[in-house]
Structure 1
Amino acid sequence: MRDKLAEEASRQAWQGQRHRLDTSLLNSADRLPACTQMPSVTASSSDLSPLSRQRLELSCADNPGWSVTALVQASVFLPVVHAARVIERGQTITAEQLQMQEVNIGKTPRGFYSDAADVIGQGAKRRVRAGQLIAPNLLAAPLLVRRGQQVTIVASQDGISASATGEALANGREGEVIRVRNLGSQKVIEAQVVEEGVVTSTFR
């Protein structure tokens, strides 16, 4: 069990994890004869995740009727990303808004992040309260353009590029197509968000 936890920690690149194993026996070994060798252990659980409760069957080769069933539950404690302060919906998350707090990751069904770098630069789908664990369902690609913001409209054709100033009429993330008013001609066009504050009117 400890080996499985070590393998999972290495595979997931968990840093600073600690764990506890809680074991309970479904039948006592007190009335069984002494086993003169190390009992063999077989996992009978269908879920082999080291974070799931495992049912183990112990048997002794020199005593055919010797059998003990044990339930083992691993509790893994890991520093994971939390909000250090309130993060408003639509905000692009910065390092200053995050902190690391230790949790039992077996009790985080919606997921978690063990590296703040995976969260920084993402957008908040909804308001996140101070101290709340940051789960994947709270994040979205950051808003690069906001409604009412002045943006640069770029266009290119046959190797010739041109730009104009416009006003975004909707919020937009990278790759999204939004309506933009050209402030020179006052014409409303559809443009694709390219980067922060920049859209293009030539896209497929």
Structure 2
Amino acid sequence: MLARVIFLSFVLASGTALAQDYADGVSGAEAESLVLEAMRAAGIRDGSPMGSIRPFPACDTTPTVAPRGGDWGTAVIRCGDEWSRSMRTRTTYAPQRPAAPLRAAETTGAMVVVLKRNMESGQMISEEDVMLAPSGSRSSPETFSRLEDVIGRRLKSRVTAEQMVFMRHLETDWLIVQGQPVVLKINANGIQVSASGEALEAGELGDIIRVKNLQSQKVIKAIVDGKNSVSIRPNIG
């Protein structure tokens, strides 16, 4: 048995399709060994076959192993033209497929932010994940025209490669969080005066929120104009 394992390792590592005695069939353990060695030879280090309960049919040569569609999530074990069987594996490896070219209708229009790859809910968008592409007829006021507007933000839903990023895809970008200290900016006769405050509500850019002036202890309404910054303007309801 040891000699046979060494022989299988040599065959798969060298890529030489030498005949092997599988006249009695390919057992589940043998099939698992074939798949594991093929994965390792392909550079897949984090996965393993999930095994097969039933033995495979007899084969007059050494079965070959290849990923289905380039994806090692399923390995295909083949005995020439006689038979083929599939075996699921445990691996995080996914093939890198080239991006599909944009259709003619999508090569015009304003440039908008799209994803380069599939991304899941909760993932943070990095500079390497996005690019600008023509919007074609798909333009919307909820899209983004600048990469910096989405970099560093988290997705709240799954977005696929080449799909435009919409505001609804992103978690709320709070510039002010409830309970945080804020800077109160007051314009009086052309002179700006600053004071310390505390946010009583969370807010995005342009939101009107309640804040407490820590000097006077008064609760007032102000407009979010930056990170931890609000401005007080007359006639805010």
Shorter-chain TM-score tier: 0.3 to 0.5
Q: Relative contact order: is structure 1 or structure 2 higher (C-alpha 8 Å, sep ≥ 6)?
A: 1
Q: TM-score, normalised by structure 1?
A: 0.44
Q: TM-score, normalised by structure 2?
A: 0.39
Give the number of the structure whose alpha-carbon radius of gyration is greater.
2
Higher strand content, 1 or 2: 1
Higher helix content, 1 or 2: 2
